[in-house]
Amino acid sequence: MRHLGVYPISGRALLPDEALRLLCRGERPFLLDGAADADGLGRYSYGGCDPVARYVDRLLDGPLPGGLGRRAQAPPLLRLQQCLAGWGPLIAVGLLGYDVGRSVERLPPRDRPDDLGLLPIDLGGYDAVYRHDRVTEESMILATSEDAAGRLRRRLLAPPPPASGSGTLGAVRFETSKDEYCRRVRRVREYLLAGDCYQVNLCHRLCARVRVEQALPLYLRLRAMAPAPLGAYLRLDPPAVGGPAPVLLSNSPELLLRANFAGPHLGRVETRPIKGTRRRDPDPARDRALAETLFAAEKDRAEHLMIVDLLRNDLGRVAVTGSVNADEAPRLVSLPTVHHLVSSVRARMLPGTGLADLLAALFPGGSITGAPKVRAMEIIDELEPVRRGPFYGALGFFSATLAELALCIRTAVVRDDELLLSVGGGIVLGSTPEEEWEETEVKAAAFLRAMA
C-alpha cells in the first residue's frame, strides 16, 4: 500500500479486537485479522468502515459464450479489474465467491438452489484503513488524505462501546447426516476408480440459531480461543432495504493469493495450498504423535502433492517460463485445533499480466475443488445439494500495489438469525468415508468451541 499516507492514531497501540468494536459502529466494518503467526503469515491486521465506493457483480451463470475456455479473460473479471483501476489509491476489501470460478471455466448449468443469496463479487472501497503490526505492536492509519485519516481516527478514538456477551446460541446441527455424507464420499470414489479425476473436495454444512447482533461477540471469542493468521470479520450491505446485514466470520489459515503489482517485488505471486489434516490433542506426547503421523502419512502426502501440481499448472498460465517453483516437500503447520501440511508455490508474472488474468488462473482454489479442476467442479455440483456461494471463495483486499486473498475455509455466514458453516476435505482413492466425516468435524472444532 505504498501510495497511501501514514498517519498516527494516538499515543498508544490500539489492538485489533478493540478497533473492531469501534469500527462496528460504522457502515460495512471489516477486520482482516492477523490474529496469530502461522507459517510466517498473520503479522498485520487491517480494519475499516464507511466505504466511499462499492462494487458488486452478480455474474452470469453457465459457460462462457462462444465456447471460450480457461485462457479467456471472463468479462466479470475484466470489469472488476477496470473498476479497481478507476478507484486509484482506494483499498478494496470484500468477497469473491466460489461462483467467480464459473465465469472462467466451461461448466454445465446448475439446478442447485442458492439459499444464501450473497453477491458473488462484493467489494467496498475505503479511503482510510487501520493497520496493526503484531510484531512491533504499532497501530497507525493508512489513508489517501489527512481528511480521510481524520474521519477514521475519530471513529477509533471514540469512547469504547460497552462489552456485550454473546448470549445464548442455538444448538449446532449438521444439515447432512453422517450416512448421507459417507454415501457421497463413496460416490466420489466411484468416479476416482473410473478415472474421471484424482481428487474431489467434498463439503457439507452445519448450522445454528445465531442472531446477527451476536456475530461480533462470537467472532471475538473465536479469535481469542483459536486465533488464525488470515481471519476476518466483514459485515456486508443488507440485500434488501431495511433488512439485516449478513456477516462473514472467517478463521482461515490458507493463503490463496499474494501478488505484487509495484515496488521491489513487482510481479511476484504466491499461493500456499493446505492439504492434510490431523486434530490437536491437549496431551503434548499424543499431540506430537498425531503431527508425526500426518507428516509421514502416504495418503495425505499424495493428496497434498496433487494440489501442489495443480497450482503449479494454474500459476504457469500467467508466469514467466521457468519461474514457477514449489517447495520440495510440505511442511507441518500447527494451529490451535489442527495440524496441517502446507506448501508454497511461487512465480513471477508475465509482463502485462493483470488482476483479471491472475484471478482467472487461480479461481476457484485448487485445494477446495480437486484435480483435474473442471471435472472435480462438475462432481461437486452433482453431489453438494446447494450452491457454495461465499464458501470456498476468497476474502481479502486489493490495493494499487498489492493483492492478498485468503480462501474462505473455516468461514461462517450469519444472516436471518442463522449461522452456516461449510466444512469438507479432499477425497482420494485412499479415503474412507468415516474418516472423511471425522476430518470435517475436526475442521469445525474452532467454531464449535467458540459457540459452546
CB-based contacts of 271, cutoff 8 Å, min separation 6: 255, 256, 257, 258, 311, 315, 344, 345, 362, 365
Q: For cell 451476536, what's the residue?
A: 214
Instruction: Show the cell assigned to 75.
Output: 468479462
Instruction: Show the cell assigned to 400.
Output: 494499487
Element (DSSP H or E) covering residue 52: none
Among residues 297, 349, 313, 21, the alpha carbon closest in space to that of 159 is found at 21
What span, in angstroms and rounded, lies between the C-alpha atoms of 429 and 186? 10
DSSP structural state of residue 81: H
Annotated active-site positions, please? 254, 275
Q: Which residues pair with 263 in a beta bridge?
A: none
Does the CA dihedral 279-285-291-294 come out positive or negative?
Answer: negative
Residue type present at position 430: G
Q: Are 366 and 373 in contact (CB under 8 A)?
A: yes
Tell me the pairing of strands 121-126 and 402-407: unpaired
DSSP structural state of residue 365: P
Among residues 119, 143, 114, 118, the alpha carbon closest in space to that of 130 is found at 143
Q: What are phi and psi of 131, to 5 degrees?
A: -135, 135
Edge-to-edge, what's the strand order for the sheet holding 394-398? 53-57, 121-126, 91-96, 394-398, 402-407, 255-260, 268-271, 345-348, 325-326
How many other CB atoms are found less than 10 A from the CB of residue 434? 12
Among residues 413, 412, 386, 396, the alpha carbon closest in space to that of 362 is found at 396
What span, in angstroms and rounded, lies between the C-alpha atoms of 399 and 129? 11
Q: What is the DSSP string of 228-291?
A: -TEEEEEEPPPSSTTSPPPEEEEEE--EEEEEE-SSTTTTEEEE--EEEEEE--SSHHHHHHHH
Asked if the bond preceding 75 is cis, omega within 30° of 0, the reply is no
